[in-house]
Structure 1
């Protein structure tokens, strides 16, 4: 009549009336005391050995103090402890960065492990559905390691057998709220292991002033801002193509002008040229002297300039064929960067169908054939839909600034980018907080990285123009 569940017995039935719940008494197997003591003893010894192996210094210090206390009294033990504390304080004061790397972040990681993550691990896993209960037994993902730095906690986790990365990316909000963080990002280390990143602070909360113009000419990677972990943001422009998408006021111009600023020494040396297409007549026209006549705003002129870039690319390809497979910038064959501001106006919103087709064909040709001969494309747009820019997949490197809809994030950065933490639709619309903040996905790294580009003001652009024209007058 009743289906017997594993570990349950149908005897001792309390009631079978329709309005009364059926109650079963689970079978109990009494474990001998000796077996229980052996199990707990083994767990204690293995935990002790693991602690000695993972934290030898942290275990050696209290052990040494205990030996001194037993052999020579508590006075010597307290004196040695005080001396060690004074040495650590002096170390922290004189070499703060080194102390933080060797001692400070490790202590913080230990404290966060004990007080935050291990303390709430079971509850968060069960409530979020990442723990599994099978036949009355709970299977829990294993917390392996906690590491801290200046802005985030990084948690290494071993998934349960049979779990997928998507099982975790679908629960990033649960994990963030469960551990008291603003957000959670998930990356795959290797099969079965994940890296959970919980930011503790936001180094990109304030705007970044324009970076100094480099001293030496170089075509990249050019430094244009800062990454979320505090490292410099260097953008590769030579040998790749870059697509930038963002709503109005998101800061697309910062990425364009920072790139020009980083290439300025190479432009002065004749190793790089920037060709600008500015159909809005607002962003790039402010520094048109930098482009040496390679500037267009009228749609017809933009199409002609793109055709000229295609011609340069094809002539180089004919000369390089059979001789070299990659481009090295020279004065005779400089690196050419084609900047297109608001590419959607030229490829989708332009009323002249013939011009739309010319622009789309030229951009597709440059994006598929220009990398190896030193012709790159950097295109910016507001609307990333496929019918607006049907060649967006030809751009290896993609940058998503503030976007209006969550679906647009995956349109720009690729499928699954938002699930892995690229919340471009959550970037603040307040210019002081969100202008220039973006998520970047590079060809060499599938994981999105949160970055912020430096703000190049009108005065900075005037300085760049004056510096470039000085070179022209000297020549």
Structure 2
């Protein structure tokens, strides 16, 4: 009646219903004790070698005093430990950066690897759904390494076979709270491996003063602030278009004026022209002397200025056709940067339909054809919806400052940006804490970068305008 299966045969089955589920016990193969001991010994040796290889300094701190105690007695071991601690403390006070780079961050990484991540790895993976518990066995992603910097822990993880990056990016809140961090960011290290960034503190909590005007004349990337890792935030202006989105008081003016400030030497040299569209008449009006006659405030003036920029672009395209593919700024053909403070007022909230169509057509033409001939657009807006700014995808580089809704983050930075850690809707509305803080997504990289723009005061703007006017 029953087909014989591997393992124990079904015996003494009594059933009165034909659909009763029958459970068969699998075959049990008893492993000899010698094989079990060999396997456990091999795992122990491999674990020790892996620990020493990944954490050589932390292992030496424990192994060397222990060996001295074993060979020469506890007094020699205690003396060696006390002398080493005194030398490390003196090193830390005399030259802290080198101490942290060589010893400090490695010790901290080993401690957090053991006490924070390894200790909580299994429950966090199972509860968050990134691990699987099947037939009494846990299948967990592999915790590879932990690296500490001055502000964050960088955790390298080997994913389970069949997992996707989206499985992790959808659970960043689970990971952050599971390991006691404020947030978590996910990026791809290489095929099958991820890097999880858990910040320990916020290096962008303090406002930044205006960046000094550079001495060298350049239209290359200009410094507008700092990145979360402490390195300068360099924003490319020539050869791209930049879109800045943020709620009221998010610090859009800080990005605009910091970019103009970085181009100031090139403006004085005649290699850059800044054309300003200021429909609010509040932000860019402080530096009207910087723009000269290329300043527009009313919608009609803005339309005319944009169409003039299109004429410059088309004239250059006719001259450059067949001769060059990239623009090199010169006094005869300077780089033209068109700055629009509140572009939504011109493209969506303009009551004159004729002006709205002219402005939208000019912006679309500039953003699709202007890069190659040295005409760039930097636009700022509050509402990033498609019906407000229908050409937002034509801006290669995008900046998301504080936003009101989580959906707006993906509207600005692209699909999945918020799941990878761009929490622009969580930025503090307090000006001292959140003004100028945002996330940048560059054309060359899909991973968002957290940054803060320097604050350019009214006094700084007037001094810049007076210098150019003089």
With the shorter chain as reference, the TM-score category is over 0.9
**Greater shift in the superposed pair: 319-328 or 382-391:** 319-328
Q: 1:292 to 1:63 in 2, by over 3 A?
A: same
2: CA distance between counterparts of 1:7 and 1:48? 38
Partner of 2:242: 242
Q: Is the 8 A contact 2:188 2:194 kept in 1?
A: yes
1:455 aligns with 2:426: no
TM-superposed CA distance for 1:228, in Å, is: 1.2
CA distances 1:167-206 after superposition (whole Å, capped 9, x unpaired): 1111111111111111111111122111111111001112
Tell me the SS of whatever aligns to 1:447.
coil
Q: Report how far residue 315 of structure 1 moved.
A: 1.4
CA deviations on 1:344-379 (whole Å, 9 max, x unpaired) are 111111111111111111111111111111110000
Aligned partner of 1:278 in structure 2 is 278
Counterpart Cα distance in 1 of 2:372 and 2:301: 26
For the residue of structure 1 that corresponds to 2:163, the secondary structure is coil
Q: Is 1:97 aligned with 2:90?
A: no
**Which residue of structure 1 lines up, in the alignment, with residue 120 of structure 2?**
120
Structure-2 residue corresponding to 1:47 = 47
**Cα deviation, residue 58, structure 1:** 4.1
Q: Which moved more, 1:423-432 or 1:59-68?
A: 59-68
Deviation at 1:24, TM superposition (A): 11
Aligned twin of 1:288:
288
Aligned counterpart, 2:443: 443
- What CA distance in whole angstroms lies between the structure 2 residues aligned with 1:82 and 1:8? 64
Using the alignment, how far apart are the partners of 1:78 and 1:203 within structure 2? Answer: 39
1: CA distance between counterparts of 2:8 and 2:428?
55
Secondary structure at 2:448 match in 1: strand
Match of 1:298 in 2: 298
Shift, 1:244, TM fit: 0.5
Q: Is the 1:338–1:377 Cα contact (8 Å) retained in structure 2? A: yes
CA distance in 2, matches of 1:425, 1:203: 18
Q: 1:8 to 1:89 in 2, by over 3 A?
A: farther
Can you give the 5+ residue segments of structure 1 that lack an aligned partner in the other structure?
A: 1-5, 17-21, 471-475
Q: CA deviation at 1:64?
A: 4.1
Offset of residue 87 of structure 1: 2.6
Alpha-carbon distance change, 58 to 246 in structure 1, aligned in 2, over 3 angstroms: closer
- In structure 2, the partner of 1:465 is 465
CA contact under 8 A between 1:9 and 1:27: conserved in structure 2?
Answer: no
CA distance in 1, matches of 2:301, 2:71: 89
Q: Is the 8 A contact 1:287 1:462 kept in 2?
A: yes
TM-score when scaled to structure 2? 0.93
| Cα deviation, residue 32, structure 1 | 3.6
Deviations 1:415-439 (A, max 9, x none): 0001111111111111111111111
Does the residue aligned with 1:349 lie in a helix, a strand or coil? coil
Alignment match, 2:132: 132
CA contact (8 A) 1:278 1:341 kept: yes
Cα distance, 1:244–1:40 mapped onto 2, change above 3 Å: same
**3-state secondary structure, aligned to 2:127:** helix
Gaps of 5+ in 2: 1-5, 17-21
Moved more, 25-34 or 287-296: 25-34
Work out whether residues 275 and 294 of structure 1, in 8 Å CA contact, stay in contact via their aligned partners in 2: yes
Report how far residue 286 of structure 1 moved: 1.0
Query: What is the 5 A alignment of 1:40-79?
Result: 40-60=40-60, 62-79=62-79
Q: Per the alignment, in what secondary structure is the counterpart of residue 322 of structure 2?
A: coil
Partner of 1:345: 345
The count of residues paired between Structure 1 and Structure 2 equals 466
Which whole-Å CA distance do the structure 2 matches of 1:231 and 1:8 have between them? 66
Whole-Å Cα distance in 2 between the matches of residues 81 and 422 of structure 1?
45
Aligned counterpart, 2:215: 215
Check the 8 A contact 2:57/2:107 in 1, yes or no: no
Equivalent residue for 1:372?
372
Deviation at 1:213, TM superposition (A): 1.1
Matched-pair contact (CA < 8 Å) for 1:427–1:434: yes
Whole-angstrom distance in 2 between the partners of 1:151 and 1:7: 57
In structure 1, distance between residues paired with 2:182 and 2:57: 33
2:190 aligns with 190
In structure 2, the partner of 1:146 is 146
Residues 295 and 117 (structure 1), Cα distance of their counterparts in 2 relative to 1, 3 Å cut: same
Match in the other structure for 2:171: 171
1:254 aligns with 2:257: no
Q: Which residue in the other structure is 1:156 paired with?
A: 156
Aligned to 1:226: 226
Give the equivalent residue in structure 2 for 1:319.
319
Look up the match of 1:359: 359
Cα deviation for residue 135 of structure 1 reads 3.2
TM-aligned CA distance change 1:8 to 1:157, over 3 Å: farther
2-structure distance, mates of 1:310, 1:238: 17
Residue 19 of structure 2: aligned partner: none
Counterpart contact for 2:270–2:334, Cα < 8 Å: yes
- Measured in 2, the distance between the counterparts of 1:56 and 1:278 equals 59
1:181 aligns with 2:217: no
State the match for 1:473 in structure 2: none
C-alpha RMSD over aligned residues: 2.7
Contact kept, 8 Å, 2:247 with 2:401, in 1: the verdict is yes
Partner of 1:86: 86
Deviation at 1:27, TM superposition (A): 8.2
Deviation at 1:63, TM superposition (A): 4.2
TM-score in terms of structure 1 length: 0.92
2:347 paired with 1:335: no
**Aligned residues of 1:9 and 1:26 also touching (Cα < 8 A):** no
Distance in 2 (CA, whole Å) between partners of 1:11 and 1:173 is 51
